[in-house]
Amino acid sequence: MTTLPTQTEKKLGLVIDLDTCVGCHACVVSCKGWNTENYGAPLSDQNAYGKDPVGTFLNRVHSYEVQPAQGAAQTIHFPKSCLHCEDAPCVTVCPTGASYKRVEDGIVLVNESDCIGCGLCAWACPYGAREMDAAEGVMKKCTLCVDRIYNENLPEEDRQPACVRTCPAGARHFGDLADETSDVSKLVAERGGFDLMPEQGTKPVNKYLPPRPKDEQIDILAPLLDPVAAEPQGFLGWLDKTLERIG
Amino acid sequence: MHPAPSIIFFTVFSGLGFGMLAFLGLGKPDVSGFTAFVFFAIAYLLAVGGLISSTFHLGNPQRAIKAFSQWRSSWLSREGCLAVATLVVMGLYAIGVVFFNTRIVPLGLLGAILSVATVFATSMIYTQMKTVPRWHHWTVPLLFMGYALTGGAFLTGQIQLATAGFATIGLMQVIYWVLGDNRFQQSGSTLETATGLGHIGKARMFEAPHSSKNYLMKEMVHVIGRKHARTLRIGGLVLASILPWAILMFLGFSHIMALLALIIHVTGALMTRWLFFAEAEHTVGLYYGQR
């Protein structure tokens, strides 16, 4: 049934640190790799070496410039994938029951053998987390690497989503956000993790950590490095005064 | 939103078909035998043709039968179920009218209610989308049902009703546009809420995640057609509503004029339905610095 569970036992999800992300796109590549070689229809590309290459991705990294009222602008790299919402609008619109949210861990999945590729779930998602695969005609989305996290054939350190495992900056964290004592929950509490588009009422499980404030003073020694001669002396001093008189 | 031709044809023509069935179910016009057969045949051709057209945009249409299973939660599934129920009920009713010259009144009434309910369910597929603020509004079901019933009244020869209908849909179309133009702003979604970075300052896209387009942008960030939106709005309004109304109002009824009015109305309806999709902005556009 494509009705949502009233409660899930766990809320597995990601915590993404916008302070640490360097925008290297390694998570995009590892996601595409794992999800092409493993569970479900591969993430196809069309015209990959041609003029207008397009392809299916479950995770994409945007970059934004944020301009504060005062001071310099900040560049922030912004990875975006399915947020595994508690109130997932993509699930309830599905006419075939292919989209569902798991009761045991809250992961939102698509049963590809039931999907007719109508695309309505992609319309219902405010975040653009679902992409129709042009080769298979079925809807693809982040599975939270459901075929890794419970996979006992993998070494324990690899039992986390491919994007988390690969991130060289440690900007991605995986865990149970329903458990207040989990590392991810503590991280969210400490750093003030937030939801994307809370006004849409989707109650996303994934959280984002805000960039830390920039240091106002670059270095405690900086004041000591003030220019020694603020007023030019000698020949330069004479030149400065002369030019001012002329100009 | 991408104005897919299959969906535009589906909503316009199946709307007309179900609108016709609603009037036929009420016994308007009160015909039987071959004349009734022609009326029902046109209505079924429009309704079923539209439904078939809607399967053209599916990635895996061979599994379409599964779409009847989720009527408890999904408006698309409800629409499918209601459409089939309408066609079955009205089919039985039509057999009585065409072959036995008997009008089973309760059956026709049920068919008429189901016909309107089908169009309502179609409109709810769009109205339920909180992600598309322009659609997430009570004017959408009224607009869809208005078009369907006006077209249905006209095709079943209910000229007075159709005349009033043409005027009404014009008015509703204007209300939909006027209210709709502010809906995205009123929804409160901005790039700042989408990224959660509003506490730092004003955000703008610095670099897209990829060098070419993707499924999301093609499907939900359709900005090309909006350039001529104003002209198309005026054209659509004149053709869908004003001209057919004027023809019926001032030139009186004749079959040639009726055919002309029908062609003009359908052309206008296709234009306004194209705009319905092309002008609708999805929140995902925010992430791409577009709407």
In angstroms, the first-to-last Cα distance of chain A is 82
Contact status, residue B13 vs residue B35, Cβ threshold 8 Å: no
Chain B contact probe: residue of A6, A62, A112, A140 with most B CBs at under 10 A:
A62
- Nearby residues of A126 by Cβ (< 8 Å), 6 or more positions away: A89, A197, A200, A202, B130, B131, B189, B283, B284
Q: What is the DSSP letter of B247?
A: I
The minimum CA-CA distance between A227 and chain B, rounded to whole Å, is 32
- Would you place residue B146 in the very low, low, confident or very high pLDDT band (cuts 50, 70, 90)? very high
Q: Across the interface, which of A74, A114, A194 has its CB nearest the CB of B196? A: A194
E strand intervals along B120-272: 202-207
Residue A128, pLDDT score = 95
Span A102-157, pLDDT tens digits: 999 999 999 999 999 999 999 999 999 999 999 999 999 999 999 999 999 999 99
Residue A83, pLDDT score = 97
- Asked if the Cβ–Cβ distance from A197 to B194 is below 8 Å, we say yes
| Mean pLDDT value across residues B64-83 | 93
Residue B270, pLDDT score = 95
- Bridge partners (DSSP) listed for residue A76: A64
Chain B's closest residue to A116, CA to CA, is: B60
A101, pLDDT greater than 70: yes
The minimum CA-CA distance between B121 and chain A, rounded to whole Å, is 12
Work out the mean pLDDT of chain B and round it to a whole number: 92
Residue B244, pLDDT score = 93
The minimum CA-CA distance between B51 and chain A, rounded to whole Å, is 13
A7, pLDDT greater than 80: yes
Query: Which chain B residues are within 8 Å of A69, Cβ to Cβ?
Result: 201
Q: How many domains does chain B have?
A: 1
B22, pLDDT greater than 70: yes
- Asked if the Cβ–Cβ distance from B67 to A95 is below 8 Å, we say yes
Residue B205 is assigned to a structural domain of this protein: no
Neighbours of B63 (CB within 10 A): 18
The minimum CA-CA distance between B237 and chain A, rounded to whole Å, is 27
- Would you place residue B136 in the very low, low, confident or very high pLDDT band (cuts 50, 70, 90)? very high
Q: Across the interface, which of A118, A196, A211 has its CB nearest the CB of B76? A: A118
Residue B192 is assigned to a structural domain of this protein: yes
Low-confidence winner among A207-216, B162-171, B189-198 (lowest mean pLDDT): A207-216
Residue B184's CATH number: 1.20.1630.10
| Mean pLDDT value across residues B153-158 | 93
Chain A's closest residue to B219, CA to CA, is: A123
Residue B241 is assigned to a structural domain of this protein: yes
Q: What CATH class is the domain A12-209?
A: alpha beta
Pairing outcome for strands A131-132 and A108-110: unpaired
- Asked if the Cβ–Cβ distance from B206 to A118 is below 8 Å, we say no
DSSP per position, B195-226: HT-TTT-EEEEEE-SSSS--HHHHHH---GGG
Q: Across the interface, which of B66, B206, B283 has its CB nearest the CB of A64? A: B206
A201, pLDDT greater than 70: yes
Chain A contact probe: residue of B57, B189, B287 with most A CBs at under 10 A:
B287
Residue A228, pLDDT score = 67
Q: Does B185 touch chain A (CB under 8 A)?
A: no
Span A118-132, pLDDT tens digits: 999 999 999 999 999
Residue B61 is assigned to a structural domain of this protein: no
Residue A247, pLDDT score = 72
Q: What range defines the domain where residue B277 resides? A: 5-55+66-200+213-287
Q: Across the interface, which of A60, A75, A120 has its CB nearest the CB of B76? A: A120
Residue A233, pLDDT score = 81
Contact status, residue A196 vs residue A204, Cβ threshold 8 Å: yes
Give the ipTM: 0.92
- Would you place residue B255 in the very low, low, confident or very high pLDDT band (cuts 50, 70, 90)? confident
| Mean pLDDT value across residues B211-231 | 84
Work out the mean pLDDT of chain A and round it to a whole number: 92
Question: What percentage of chain B exceeds 70 in pLDDT?
Answer: 99
Q: Across the interface, which of B69, B189, B219 has its CB nearest the CB of A96? A: B69
- Would you place residue B228 in the very low, low, confident or very high pLDDT band (cuts 50, 70, 90)? confident
Neighbours of A180 (CB within 10 A): 10
A59, pLDDT greater than 80: yes
Residue A60, pLDDT score = 96
- Would you place residue B93 in the very low, low, confident or very high pLDDT band (cuts 50, 70, 90)? very high
Query: Which chain A residues are within 8 Å of B75, Cβ to Cβ?
Result: 93
